[in-house]
Amino acid sequence: MCDDLGPLLRAHMSRRGALRAAGTAGVAAAAVGLGVAGTSGAAQAAGAPGAARPDTSGSRHRTRVVLLGTAGGPVLTDGARMGISTAIVYEDRVYLVDLGFGSQMRIAAAGLGSGSPSGVLDNVRGIFLTHMHSDHWAEWPALYPTVPSNGTGLSEPIRVFGPGDRDTLPPVSPPGRPEPPVVTPERPIPGISETTDRLRDTFAADLNERARASLFRLPDELFVVQDIDISSLWHVDPPGIPPRLDAPIPVWTDGDVRITATLVDHRPTAPSFAFRFDTPDGSVVVSGDTRVSQNLIDLASGADYLVHECVDAAYIDEVVSVFPPDQREFMRMTLLQGHTTIEQVGRDVAEPAGVKNLVLTHLVPTDPGPEHWLPAGEGYSGRLIVGEDLMQLGVGSRRR
C-alpha cells in the first residue's frame, strides 16, 4: 500500500498496541480453524518477521525468486521487513522488480553480487519499476549515483524500465476539497526517464567531482533508462482505471529470459504495471500494487509463482476508526480501492489464474507473523507462502 498512512498510524499507534496482544491470539485461532487448503508446512514454519533463518531452500536453483523486501507502504519499520523489492535470478543474472527502502543492502545480504568488494551490483541486468509511488522506488536515488562504486564489474549497462509521464492529474478527493498546490506543474507526474534526468542534475556535484578525480564512470554509461510505451493501449485519464488488455506488453528479451508486463488497477495511480519473467525453468509474476485485476490474472495464467501484494482490511478498519463516523467509509474506500485483501488474493486472483505458488508480499500491516496471513489460502488450491525478507524460492528442478 502506498497511501500516506504515516500520520494516521502515528495517531493510532497507542490504540493498536493495546489491541495487538488480543488480536494475535484471535487470528491464530481463526487460521487454525479455517484449515487453510494448500498452505505448506514450510511456509507456516517460516517464522515471524526478523526470524534468524528465512527459507532459502531455492538458493541453488538456476531460476529463483529472492524476496529482498516485503514491507507495504512508506511507513518505516524496525527493519525486519525492508521496503518492497523482489529479485528474479536466472543463473547469475539478477532482475529487480521495485526498489523500496533498504533493498540495496538486501541485494548484498542475499549474496546476489559477484563476490568482488565493489561488485554487489555486478550481476544486475535489469530494474523494473511497477509505478511511481515512492515506497516502490525510494532506493533508486540511492542506487543511481552509487552504482559506479558498487558495479565496477558490470559488462553491460543495466536496463531500467518503468512508467512514462502521465499528463493528467487524478481528481482531488474527497470531492469539493480545495485543490492542493501542484509540484512542477509543467510536468507534474514524471515517469522514470524524466525522474532520472532530474536525479542526474541533483547529483551533479558528486558525479562531476568523482569523474574528474578518479576513473569513476558516470551513470550515463551504466544505465539505459526507458519508459514502457503504452501509447497504443491507453491515454491515462484522471480516474486511472486501465483498459482490459488482449495480450501482454512486451518489455525486453534478454537471451533466454523474456519479460512482459500488463496494466494493473491501482486507481487512481497510473500507469501501474505487473511483470512476468519466463525462463527455461518456469515463470514468475510480480503484481506491483493493484486491486483484483483481470489483466493480472491473464498475465499470471499458469505461472509457477505469483508474488502478490496483500492488505488486511480489518487493519484498515482499525486505522480509519480515528475519523469522524461520516468520513470513515470514504477513507476506507480510498485506502482499499487500489489494493487486494487477504480474503481476495487467493480466491479471486491466484485460483482463477491457476498459479502453482502464491507468495504474499508488500504486507500491510508489516508486523504480524505468518499465521496472520494464512486465511489468504482459503479458496486457493495451490501452495500459499507468506513472504519474508531474504526468502529464496526455487523455480523448476534444474540446479546450478
Per CB under 5 A, residues contacting Zn ion are 2, 133, 135, 289
- Dist CA 255 CA 223 (whole Å): 18
- Dist CA 51 CA 390 (whole Å): 10
Choose between 227 and 289: whose C-beta lies nearer to Zn ion: 289
219: nearest Cα among 231, 234, 237, 204: 204
Question: Which DSSP symbol is given to 233?
Answer: T
- Dist CA 380 CA 246 (whole Å): 25
Question: What are the cell numbers at 357?
Answer: 505458488
Q: Decide: helix, strand or coil at residue 345.
A: helix
Question: Which DSSP symbol is given to 134?
Answer: G
Choose between 230 and 395: whose C-beta lies nearer to Zn ion: 230
Question: C-beta of 132: minimal distance to Zn ion in Å?
Answer: 8
Question: What are the cell numbers at 281?
Answer: 525453468
Question: C-beta of 310: minimal distance to Zn ion in Å?
Answer: 11
Peptide bond into 243 cis (omega under 30): no
Question: C-beta of 98: minimal distance to Zn ion in Å?
Answer: 8
Question: C-beta of 23: minimal distance to Zn ion in Å?
Answer: 23
Choose between 5 and 391: whose C-beta lies nearer to Zn ion: 5
303: nearest Cα among 279, 330, 329, 339: 279
Choose between 8 and 222: whose C-beta lies nearer to Zn ion: 8
Choose between 71 and 121: whose C-beta lies nearer to Zn ion: 71
- Dist CA 387 CA 390 (whole Å): 9
Choose between 133 and 372: whose C-beta lies nearer to Zn ion: 133
Question: C-beta of 130: minimal distance to Zn ion in Å?
Answer: 8
Question: C-beta of 309: minimal distance to Zn ion in Å?
Answer: 7
Ramachandran sector of residue 379 (left: φ over 0; alpha: ψ -120 to 50; beta: rest)? left
Question: C-beta of 138: minimal distance to Zn ion in Å?
Answer: 11
Longest distance between any two alpha carbons in the chain, whole Å: 65
Closest-approach residue to Zn ion (CB): 2
Choose between 83 and 377: whose C-beta lies nearer to Zn ion: 83
